[in-house]
Chain A
């Protein structure tokens, strides 16, 4: 019952945000619209990690791998097809296949969290080196030259489905990105409330118990990992659509770290937290970029350390706990709240 109420809240909130997104071009200038577009694309990426880590318990340090693969898949496909619709499909499909392969080896191998984090991070490092080395005519897929360190410029941006001549304006691209963010958010909310969602949370809580009830934790984790890959790949397409450009820095260590920081400061185990964390950090990084004295890495690292030490749950769950504690105090004690608490 309370889940339904939560869902209603999410729908109302989403509707308000959707109205704000659709009307934003009326009172926000183009430069800011562009800024918000990339923030929203990154927020979709934040949701992908927020989902697999916060709900699936999968510690992926290299979510940029799927983001970058999605971005490159989109760029290469859009250049070859001259139409963004199949390119978006490939930007989702290729990361999913990659996640399935990588996830199979890791999850069915039964490796620990620590190993999984390190291996996924290593994947992003190696993809960075690999794509970086693709300079020259030899490395081209169809009409698309991968361009090595220089990346791929001039990527066709989104067009109307079925009409590749109608290219979306920056304002329309913003609306598409913003609405995509809301839809991914709501989609994940529905997924988490579904049987599948409840089962993956149960597996996160106690894998042994879930297995002893007949659930195969490996397949659930693999599917979760693949859904994360799909969303991250989609975010990659949104990102390329924003800048019409992709380069290997999309795989760089700095971005991997940022995604983790978004989720950490926003809070694991919520969806809104990673989005908030992402928007805050994006804004902060933009601000830092405008001055010379402090290095962005330095600030980001310090933020990560402070949160791990002092606010390990992140902003959203900490706020929620504070509100809950306040509510509980205001409510009269009922008989069943006097149960002895045990530390687990």
Chain B
């Protein structure tokens, strides 16, 4: 029984962490149809922002939940203005540019902070399930994922920004008919997507080793989730995270975390053979 609870918690936390590490990527993909290959580095910057803020004496909650997303969000806006906007309509070149950016950020961070692991300690303690010990941070991450998805839903459903976003997802030219400058939509998209990645990076800081190359550890899962989910930001992300998080955790429980990832990937490849536009391309077409 206790083991079932622990595995159940693992599945929930697996799903929640997929939601968190993929959300920023999903926003940019849903709106702009490009995969941001610097996504891992946005996570890493969020983690560094958190670690550095904490060591400068800032409260860890403020560092994770405010400073990390705001800082990385600003980075996203700057990147969009200085790089991505010159490549509108060139999907492949946009992705290559973000790949170059990823290398520049890794290299730059290494030059400034060195290639050593830094970190912050988890702000929450543990709890006991029978003979098993678990961290309170796990349900906290699940709560954050839930809050993030709720926020995305509310914004998309009930605000003007959400209306514009939905229009652009359906048809990029529609922004113009709503009287909105597409360039501003893309700038905001990149900023918000980056901020979400920054938030995820901040939340990862206490549980992951923070190094310049840490992004690489997360992007495989994020890529699979977003490709499997398709271009619908909310439902694609939730359905793919749910499916893959479940498969991944069960497989990891039965084998090793690495094989869990391999099985996750095989599941995703079979999925896209059947649904080449992702889950949402088939089942949630035109939805949020």
Contacts and interface: CB of A to CB of B under 8 A. Distances in A.
B120 interface: no
Given A122-B223, A126-B261, A297 B106 contact: yes
A326 B231 CA distance: 46
A309 interface: yes
Interface residues of B, number: 45
Nearest to A302: B104
A121 B96 CA distance: 12
Interface stretch (A106-114, A210-218, A223-231, A332-340): A106-114
Rank and list the top 9 A-B pairs by shortest CB-CB distance, nearest first: A298-B107, A301-B103, A304-B100, A297-B107, A301-B104, A295-B107, A305-B100, A125-B220, A109-B273
A278 B101 CA distance: 20
Interface in B93-152: 93, 95-97, 99-108, 110-111
A119 B86 contact: no
Nearest to A293: B111
A305 B101 contact: yes
B224 interface: yes
A264 B227 CA distance: 24
A123 B100 contact: no
Contacts of B91: 113-114
A226 B103 CA distance: 29
Given A302-B100, A305-B83, A308-B93, A297 B110 contact: yes
Contacts of A301: 99-107
A106 B262 contact: no
B103 A114 contact: no
A201 B46 CA distance: 44
Interface stretch (B70-78, B165-173, B264-272): B264-272
A308 B100 contact: yes
Interface in A105-140: 105-106, 108-115, 117-119, 121-123, 125-126, 129-130, 132-133
Contacts of A300: 100, 103, 107
B168 to A, nearest CB: 17
A122 B100 contact: no
Given A119-B272, A126-B261, A298 B104 contact: yes
Nearest to B216: A253
A16 interface: no
B34 A309 contact: no
Given A260-B99, A296-B107, 13 more contacts: A61-B99, A109-B274, A109-B276, A113-B92, A114-B35, A115-B227, A119-B223, A130-B261, A132-B258, A133-B256, A294-B111, A301-B105, A305-B101
A308 B261 contact: no
Interface string B30-57: 0001110100000000000000000000
A114 B34 contact: yes
B196 interface: no
Interface string A241-271: 0000000000001100100100010000000
